[in-house]
Structure 1
Amino acid sequence: MDASISSTTSSSSPLRFTQKPPNPRPLLNPTPRVTHAGAGRQRATRLRAISPSPTPSPPTPQPQQPMEAFGFDALKETFSVDVAAAEARPLNVPLAAPFTIASSRLEAVANVAVRVELSSGAVGWGEAPVLPSVTAEDQPAALAAVARACAALVAARSAPLGAVLQDVADALPGHAFASARAGVEMAVIDAVANSIRIPLWRLFGGASNTVTTDITIPIVTPNEAAQLAAKYRGQGFQTLKLKVGKNLNSDIEVLKAIRLVHPDCSFILDANEGYTANQAIEVLDRLNEMGVTPVLFEQPVHRDDWEGLREVSIAAMEKYRVAVAADESCRGLHDAQKIIHGNLAHVINIKLAKLGVLGALEVIDAARKAGVALMIGGMVETRIAMGFAGHLAAGLGCFSFIDLDTPLLLSEDPVYGGYEASGPVYKFKNARGHGGFLHLDNNNGWK
């Protein structure tokens, strides 16, 4: 197949590339990479984050984990990547129930799966999540972008892993292609880890091979929320993440209903940009009257309302010792630097789909150096993307909040292998890579 594709390619067709030209290795995109410098006014006293416990207190900054000889940074320079085949397919999975948040409603996952095969025969899998209210791409756009990168990977000559990943980043730059970029990066890195026969959690630092996630309750009626909370209590979930932000009074009623059936749980509130600053502070005031203190308040205001984010962060910490997380407000290193230097939030939520893998590692490094706490989350993904993110979080060992529950919200699991889930605990026992894969004859048409 020719290495170029048209942007009008049908999203229902497989996009596979297996041919290498005789010419020297081209760049995926010759445009120089531009790094944006962060800006922001430094406050005299930094707002400190709190840890996810019912009686929170400021955390001790996490120490840097020692990197082993086969660590990710070392492999970027020493491992030569030669892609023999790469392909992109639609990855469609229904949800168990509609997933409603302040900014959107979703009834099914419509993502893009990525498969990369090296000349050694090692295979890696990635996933480009699609959530139009957050990611810039819809499924056809993500499929076309991933396919372009797959074609160029196959056309390129072998090169160090770092150079290949940088070419992918240059070809799919910025937030507009972050999800597609993440899917391709995941597949390449997974293929490399499979080639050298080590699990991803070891590649990313080896701090641990387990994580414990929260579970999300979307915007539903109080009765439905109570039923979900009781179910999750029985499954061992101690931290419930509640989607709020559409109606303040309804949000309070949902919280009351959940507290009756799961009185000892920890709450994370996620407004998905739905409140004004005044409304966000009012929610905390009313919860305090109920004797409820959330461990985290995620993205209370619109992503571009920087002053509102700062106002809520100051009030939440000074009045109630509640940490505030920036999620949609952090779409790249420039945003992260603005949050850090301006003391706009206590926690930064890392999502591979909005940053890419390399971009996420840049933001993680900046936050750790500044002593800002970290959360890791997802859009709505299968265990391909969640497995990769879980390995990253376990290996680095620097996340105060883990929100990797979306595969538990799907009506079926198309992924084979991968991590083992026991209630909220994910165990990474696979011998290499992230361990997850799609069968070549499954309903998504891999063959």
Structure 2
Amino acid sequence: MEIVDVKLTPKKYRLKEVFKIATGERSEILNLEIEIFLKDGTIGVGEASSSLISKIISENSYVVLEKSIKDLLIGENILKLRYLWKKLKSLQFLPAIMAGTEYALVSAYCNWKGISPYLFFGGEREEIETDITIGISDFENTIRKAKEYYDAGFRILKIKVGLDLEEDLRKVIEIKRILPDVDFIIDANQGYTPKIANYFINTLYREGIEVLVFEQPVHKDDHDGIKYVRYNSPFPVAVDESVYTVYDALRLIKEDAIDFINIKLMKSGIYDALGIIEIARASNKGLMIGCMGESSLGISQSVHFSLGTSAFTYHDLDSHLSIADEEFRGDFIQEGPIIRVRKG
């Protein structure tokens, strides 16, 4: 079935509150929706979300991108998906747009064939559990949100740290005191030095606090620092910003620097994400899947990818929950932290 058109549409989303991490903050998200049209009228939809999207939209350069994607895809056969993904590698300098377009192709193919995307990706699972993220905020607000999320059923909290060591420790220790059965993923977003990261994680250990994963403790390019933290941490160490491509993953694994990789489709795209999964499996490394600023439409991409491949130990698919007044358009069912495939 022939691809006959491609359309890019900017979308702005307001967040419920300012979201702050070690490297910056934001109060709104600008995403791009990508539609693929087939000759018989079938439509596939994907979404691109990253910090670069705002600049692309503000400069109207997405119009040029739309033409480039049209040149790559119009006239091609939707059946040649892997070939089309390879063609889209020319957009690797804008991985979120590459990823959204890759998924729009999958969506078009699956809509044409009448199957769910999770089946396309393997159909290994029908249910996953996501964590929920608490950004950097003052002590009282952090504790309030932890209680709120716990009451909503979430039992894995992803805590953002990296700006104030003592305050970071105080927050995590207090949350564990009042909510003893929660589990933690701790994400420093490159905010610590290796020695401070080591002090932080070992202080939690001495306090009797378990951490599922200590994510991106130091700068993404400081591989020696990441390895230092890993070798001195009582808990698994993950990278996020350090891994975009298959090559990035392979290099860190060969350096014996990591325990886990956080795959985000918006960083790596579908083609490389599948490659990273195989490399991680072959080297016995753990995987988690995360998100950028996707709406429920964009989170569907990672939900179906995760359900289909069953490759991930932990799931951080919660960005849509931070958007104010969003019309839910996800192709999944969510009840608290549990995300299920939509049937029928």
Same fold (TM over 0.5): yes
Shift of 1:372: 1.0
Match of 2:194 in 1: 277
RMSD over equivalenced CA pairs, Å: 1.8
Is the CA contact (8 Å cut-off) linking 1:94 and 1:107 kept in structure 2?
Answer: yes
Closer/same/farther in 2, CA of residues 102 and 144 from structure 1, 3 Å limit? farther
Q: Deviations over 1:163-185 (max 9, x none)?
A: 2222122x313xx2111101111
Output the CA distance in 2 between the equivalents of 1:155 and 1:297: 44
Question: What does residue range 165-244 of structure 1 map to in structure 2 within 5 Å?
Answer: 165-169=85-89, 171-173=90-92, 176-244=93-161
Letter in 1 for 2:289: I
1:305 aligns with 2:218: no
Structure with max Cα Rg:
1
Shift of 1:255: 1.2
Q: Deviations over 1:413-437 (max 9, x none)?
A: 2343521110001111144xxxxxx
Is the CA contact (8 Å cut-off) linking 1:93 and 1:411 kept in structure 2?
Answer: yes
Find 2:162's aligned residue among 242, 245, 262: 245
Output the CA distance in 2 between the equivalents of 1:341 and 1:137: 35
By percentage of residues, which structure has more helix?
Answer: 2
Letter in 1 for 2:23: S
Letter in 1 for 2:240: D
Shift of 1:139: 3.8
Match of 1:84 in 2: 4
Output the CA distance in 1 between the equivalents of 2:343 and 2:3: 23
Is the CA contact (8 Å cut-off) linking 1:85 and 1:117 kept in structure 2?
Answer: yes
Shift of 1:257: 3.0
Match of 2:241 in 1: 328
Letter in 1 for 2:251: K
Shift of 1:146: 4.1
Of residues 406-415 and 254-263 in structure 1, the stretch that sits farther from structure 2 once superposed is 254-263
1:423 aligns with 2:336: yes
1:410 aligns with 2:319: no
Shift of 1:336: 0.5
Find 1:337's aligned residue among 245, 250, 272: 250
Match of 2:16 in 1: 96
Match of 1:399 in 2: 312
Letter in 1 for 2:97: A
Shift of 1:194: 0.8
Q: Deviations over 1:367-393 (max 9, x none)?
A: 112111111001111112211101111
1:386 aligns with 2:299: yes
Closer/same/farther in 2, CA of residues 216 and 420 from structure 1, 3 Å limit? same
Is the CA contact (8 Å cut-off) linking 1:122 and 1:191 kept in structure 2?
Answer: yes
Output the CA distance in 1 between the equivalents of 2:300 and 2:58: 24
Question: What does residue range 278-293 of structure 1 map to in structure 2 within 5 Å?
Answer: 278-293=195-210
Closer/same/farther in 2, CA of residues 306 and 136 from structure 1, 3 Å limit? farther
Q: Deviations over 1:325-360 (max 9, x none)?
A: 011011111110111111110001100111111111
Letter in 2 for 1:127: E
Closer/same/farther in 2, CA of residues 87 and 136 from structure 1, 3 Å limit? closer
Is the CA contact (8 Å cut-off) linking 1:215 and 1:241 kept in structure 2?
Answer: yes
Is the CA contact (8 Å cut-off) linking 2:33 and 2:46 kept in structure 1?
Answer: yes
The gaps in structure 1 that reach 5 residues or longer are: 1-80, 432-447
Give the aligned length: 342
Is the CA contact (8 Å cut-off) linking 1:269 and 1:296 kept in structure 2?
Answer: yes
Output the CA distance in 1 between the equivalents of 2:284 and 2:40: 41
Match of 1:114 in 2: 34
Output the CA distance in 2 between the equivalents of 1:162 and 1:154: 12
Letter in 1 for 2:103: M
Output the CA distance in 2 between the equivalents of 1:145 and 1:373: 39
Shift of 1:285: 2.1
Output the CA distance in 1 between the equivalents of 2:54 and 2:272: 16
Of residues 411-420 and 107-116 in structure 1, the stretch that sits farther from structure 2 once superposed is 411-420
Find 1:151's aligned residue among 70, 80, 93: 70
Shift of 1:82: 1.5
Is the CA contact (8 Å cut-off) linking 1:85 and 1:116 kept in structure 2?
Answer: yes
1:370 aligns with 2:283: yes
Output the CA distance in 1 between the equivalents of 2:27 and 2:63: 23
Output the CA distance in 2 between the equivalents of 1:257 and 1:222: 9
Output the CA distance in 2 between the equivalents of 1:146 and 1:210: 35
Shift of 1:150: 3.4
Is the CA contact (8 Å cut-off) linking 2:287 and 2:312 kept in structure 1?
Answer: yes
Output the CA distance in 2 between the equivalents of 1:287 and 1:154: 51
Identity across matched positions, percent: 30
SS in structure 1 of the partner of residue 137 of structure 2:
coil
Q: Deviations over 1:264-300 (max 9, x none)?
A: 1001100000000000011012212322121110000
Is the CA contact (8 Å cut-off) linking 2:131 and 2:156 kept in structure 1?
Answer: yes
Is the CA contact (8 Å cut-off) linking 2:157 and 2:185 kept in structure 1?
Answer: yes
Closer/same/farther in 2, CA of residues 233 and 327 from structure 1, 3 Å limit? same
Match of 1:296 in 2: 213
Output the CA distance in 2 between the equivalents of 1:155 and 1:185: 14
Letter in 2 for 1:109: I
Output the CA distance in 2 between the equivalents of 1:127 and 1:417: 11
Output the CA distance in 2 between the equivalents of 1:410 and 1:234: 19
Output the CA distance in 1 between the equivalents of 2:197 and 2:295: 31
Is the CA contact (8 Å cut-off) linking 2:263 and 2:273 kept in structure 1?
Answer: yes
SS in structure 2 of the partner of residue 206 of structure 1:
coil
Letter in 2 for 1:207: E
Of residues 231-240 and 255-264 in structure 1, the stretch that sits farther from structure 2 once superposed is 255-264
Closer/same/farther in 2, CA of residues 285 and 86 from structure 1, 3 Å limit? same
